Structure 1
Amino acid sequence: MKKDSKVLIRFILLMALAMAAGGIMGYASASHRQTVSGMLTVMMDMLITAAPAGIAVSGLLTVLSFTDYGKGKTLTEKALAGGEESDYDAAEKQLEKSLEKGNYSLILSYTALGMLVSGFAGKYTATDMPMVLVALAVFFMLMLVNTFIQSALVKQVKRLNPEKQGNALDPKFHQDWLDSCDEAQRALIGKAAYAAYRATQKAILATMLVAMAVSFEYPLGPLPVVLLGAIWLVQTAAYMKTSHSEDFK
């Protein structure tokens, strides 16, 4: 009972602090409306300008992912040629590094392209089009290369673990792969998925609050908040549906 009371008091204090912080920020924003609005405009322009750099960093990550894949493939050959258990572990870790960089590359390239397109929306000129077309070409090239690398990674992991099933290019890949995992691997996937679920919920809420705060000074419109709410709803519905279906199996 004492513990519950402490938790309740801490929750109330956090809510009070959050409300106070919001009030202070709102007052400061209203008192310096022109300054805040100008700063937000400069920030938006900087994000648009940084979009090509984001695509370039995405390309660098793709190169690093391919390099890690090559190292992982070499270690895989060594393990399969009669290596010890440590060789298998080293190969899998190297392949995981490649997958991680490839995933970051895809996320960054999508984000950078979105920044570029939204920044120029309705403002395209003849001088802007070459840059946009180059960005689109690089984006699609990165998508293809990363897809190829991920498919090749899956093949190497399947060589190390013959029981694994699935083709990375198959829409049913994730289910096939999960079905071929043992109980320990499924437990690890579940733990990672729950951690991602909680982190995503916190990120969505924080981003939604930022979007609402910025909207007071910069005309974002309702769409960003609506999209975040839709993502939050889909995530929660998928989690609840899966948990209920697993409970009654």
Structure 2
Amino acid sequence: MDKVVLIHRMKRGYEMNDTDKKVNKKSNLKIYIIFAIMILVSLLGGFLAGRLAAVNKDTLDGINWDNIWRIVADTLPIAYGVLMLAVFVVSFVMYGKIKRTISGWDGENEDVIVDIESRITTASYLPCVIVFVGLVLFPVCIYAVDRTYSDGRGTFLTVLSELVFLISMALYCVVEKLVIDEEKKLNPEKSGNIFDMHFRRDWENTSDEAELIMIAKSSKKGFMTGIKAGFVMWILTFMSMFAFDTGVMPIVAVGLVLIVMYVAYCREFVRLQK
């Protein structure tokens, strides 16, 4: 009787394995079909977008870009400065609240330290993002002013943009230094100086396993998001090459960034496997 039951179970196991294989084959076939459709749609969309840009090139050339750039030159440097000022005021206010909370912490309430860690992350994240925004706005300001003005007003707007850029970079370093110092009060074992080129390496070397896992997961998420954004930018720069005569440099720059990102990822992955 036991042999009969065993044989029956083995047959059921084989049948289930065959069923699982068939399901996997159907699932893989569906994935391949969807992938092929996405490729075809992307190619068709790129072709149509390119044709549309070529057909409407005369319309684009007919736009009065000088007026548009004049408006940008008159407004963007001031808006850039106001934005940077507002964000860094908020950042310093957040730092002040963090400092007061840490000073009043009794060293035992775990809920408080979790809240502090969350605030520190936000206070460090916000100025970093706005600095990257500045890396976009600053050259646009300079280009718009240079294209529009050649007199004293152009000099004023150029100097204003440069001052905003430099001051924002300095304030970013100050905020990061202050926030990192507060983090060290919570975790005295942490080491690293924000002005040191090897700060991230030193900081990670003194991080615990849970922190390293969070760093790894967030880094992978950032990497994959960057790759996706890079492909989108590649499509846009390819279209603008024909629609706006931007030349090949933008698309080459995007391609180089994608290459550097992926090569760096693969090299580090191979190194860690050894």
1:116 to 104, 119, 141: 141
Per-residue CA distance 1:74-110 (angstroms, 9 max, x = gap)? 111122x445111111212122221121112211122
Query: Does the CA-based 8 Å contact 1:65-1:102 persist in structure 2?
Result: yes
Q: How large is the RMSD of aligned CA atoms in angstroms?
A: 2.2
Task: Tell whether 2:1 aligns with 1:6.
Answer: no
Query: Does the CA-based 8 Å contact 1:72-1:92 persist in structure 2?
Result: no
Per-residue CA distance 1:137-195 (angstroms, 9 max, x = gap)? 12111111110110110010011111211111111110000001111211111110000
> What's the counterpart of residue 224 of structure 2?
198
Q: CA deviation at 1:200?
A: 0.3
Matches within 5 A, 1:157-196: 157-196=183-222
**Higher relative contact order at CA 8 Å, sep ≥6: structure 1 or structure 2?**
2
> What's the counterpart of residue 125 of structure 1?
150
Query: Does the CA-based 8 Å contact 2:66-2:148 persist in structure 1?
Result: no
1:103 maps to a residue whose letter is C
2:268 to 229, 242, 247: 242
Change (3 A) 1:100 1:30: same
Residue aligned with 2:95, SS:
helix
Q: CA deviation at 1:134?
A: 1.1
Provide the rounded CA distance (Å) in 1 between the counterparts of 2:68 and 2:34.
37
Q: Gapped runs of 5+ residues in structure 2?
A: 1-24
Provide the rounded CA distance (Å) in 2 between the counterparts of 1:40 and 1:18.
32
> What's the counterpart of residue 16 of structure 1?
40
Provide the rounded CA distance (Å) in 2 between the counterparts of 1:74 and 1:40.
54
Matches within 5 A, 1:73-88: 73-79=99-105, 81-88=106-113
Q: CA deviation at 1:122?
A: 6.3
TM-score (ref. length: structure 1): 0.91
Provide the rounded CA distance (Å) in 2 between the counterparts of 1:99 and 1:235.
23
> What's the counterpart of residue 49 of structure 2?
25
2:172 maps to a residue whose letter is N
Task: Tell whether 2:197 aligns with 1:135.
Answer: no
> What's the counterpart of residue 218 of structure 1?
244
Change (3 A) 1:204 1:41: farther
Which is further off, 120-129 or 82-91? Answer: 120-129
Q: Which has the larger radius of gyration?
A: 2
Provide the rounded CA distance (Å) in 1 between the counterparts of 2:230 and 2:75.
23
Q: CA deviation at 1:232?
A: 1.3
Provide the rounded CA distance (Å) in 1 between the counterparts of 2:42 and 2:223.
23
Q: CA deviation at 1:65?
A: 1.1
> What's the counterpart of residue 257 of structure 2?
231
Provide the rounded CA distance (Å) in 2 between the counterparts of 1:20 and 1:101.
39
TM-score (ref. length: structure 2): 0.83
Q: Gapped runs of 5+ residues in structure 1?
A: none
2:211 maps to a residue whose letter is Q
